[in-house]
Amino acid sequence: MQSRVRVVLVLVVLVGWGSSIPLAHHSVSGEFDLSKTATLKGVISRLDWINPHIYVYLDVKEANGDTTTYMLETFPPPQMRRAGLTKEAIMGKPDEVVTITILPPRDGTKHIGYIERITYQDGHYNQLGSNEEEQFRRRGGQPPAAPTPAPQ
């Protein structure tokens, strides 16, 4: 009888622990506004390559000369590695000014966002969020028409 009670207690603890994990996770659409984007220009000062999400810290020079640091969230490290991206690839060159398109937070919290795209000074970019067609669809518009091939 005592061993049966022990087994039941262990199962209750395991089920309770296991069910708390999904509740702790948030969805991108729950925290960030998928219908809007914002564009930031600045220097990546730090990158936290940690689970459950990577955080990119972007130092943005304001009009008054002050620097504001934005904490920008993106995918977890395993997804980045599967996509062939490294911490160094995301960081870019030292002191390089990058342009980052973000999804702003739903609750209006300042200086945070979810990264859609990072564009580097040489023009290459990392598309970390949805692609452009998906962005247009989410915002209720149509993507631009594909270019017509030039006549031969």
Q: Which of 106, 141, 132 is nearest to 31 (CA)?
A: 106
Question: Which of these, 67, 74, 63, 122, lies nearest to 96 by C-alpha position?
Answer: 122
Bridge partners of residue 43, in order along the sequence: 59, 97
**Chain segment 13-52, per-residue pLDDT in tens:** 444 444 444 444 557 777 888 889 999 999 999 999 999 9
Banded model confidence at residue 140, pLDDT cuts 50, 70, 90:
low
Domain ranges of the chain: 28-138
Mean pLDDT of the chain: 80
CATH number of the structural domain 28-138: 2.40.50
Residues 74/115, Cβ–Cβ less than 8 Å:
yes
pLDDT at 77: 94
